[in-house]
Amino acid sequence: MTYTLRTRIAFCAALLLFVFALACNQGPVRAAAAGAPPEVRIPVGPIPGPKEAENLPLNPYNGDSVALVEGRRLFNWYNCSGCHGGHAGGGMGPSLRDPVWIYGDSDAHIFASIAEGRGKGMPAWGTRIPEEQIWKLVAYIKSLRTPQEPDAPHVPPEPEVKEASSK
C-alpha cells in the first residue's frame, strides 16, 4: 500500500469514530407526528406511593354554557353517541353518566381518554379532533347528571299506584 492510501484510510476511520462519538452524546429525538395532539402527561389509574399534588391541565371551557351546548352537538357529530348512547347512558361503550370512572374523572383524564384512546375499543381521537373541541366534549361530559346538562334526557314520572279497595 502506498503512503497516500494509508493516510486516506486512517483519515476516514478517524472521521467515522468522530461522527459516532458525537452521535453518542445526544439524547433521543422526540418529534410529534403531524396533526398529533400536544403531549399531555396524565397518569392513568392509581399511582403508588404518597399522594402528590397533581398538576393537571384545566378545561378552559369549564362552566361555559355555550361550550356545553357545543359539546353536546359535537358528541353527536363525532358519533360518540354511537357507542356511549344518545345521552351517554351507555351502549357498546360504557356509560358516561355514572360516577364510576376507570381511567379517572378529572377534566384532564377525560381529555386524555378521548385524545389517546383506551384499550377495549375507545379509539384515539387526538389526531382527528382539534384540542378545543375535545375540551368542549369534556365540558359536556362533565355536565352530565347536573342541572347544567344541555338537552337532558326526559325521565318519565313514576306512575301512581292505587291500592285495590277490598269489597
Return the axis-axis angle of helices 131-143 and 65-77, rounded to nearest 10°: 100
Each residue of 91-124: pLDDT tens digit? 899 999 888 888 888 899 999 999 999 988 899 9
**How far, in Å, CA of 155 to CA of 134, rounded?**
28
DSSP track, 71-128: HHHHHHHTTTHHHH-TTSS-SSSPPSSSS--SS--SHHHHHHHHHH-BTTTB---TTT
Whether residue 86 lies inside any domain: the answer is yes
pLDDT on residue 72 = 93
Q: Confidence class of residue 32 from pLDDT cuts 50, 70 and 90?
A: low
Rounded to whole angstroms, the Cα distance separating 94 from 157 reads 26
3-state SS record for 144-161: CCCCCCCCCCCCCCCCCC
Per the structure, how many domains does the chain have? 1
**9 lies in a domain?**
no
Residue 77 belongs to some domain of the structure: yes
Is 27's pLDDT higher than 60?
no
Does residue 152 sit within a domain?
no
Q: pTM to 2 decimals?
A: 0.64
Domain with 77, as residue range(s), is: 65-143
CATH of the domain at 128: 1.10.760.10
Residue 128 lies in a domain: yes
- Look at residue 28 and tell me if it is in a domain: no
Is 30 within the bounds of a domain?
A: no
**Mean pLDDT calculated for residue range 132-137:** 96
Asked if the structure places residue 74 within a domain, the reply is yes
Cα–Cα distance measured from residue 11 to residue 48, given in angstroms and rounded to the nearest whole number: 54
Average pLDDT, the chain: 81
Give me the pLDDT at residue 113, please.
93
Strand partners, 122: 118
Mean pLDDT of the region 12-35: 66
Contact 143, 150 (CB under 8 A): yes
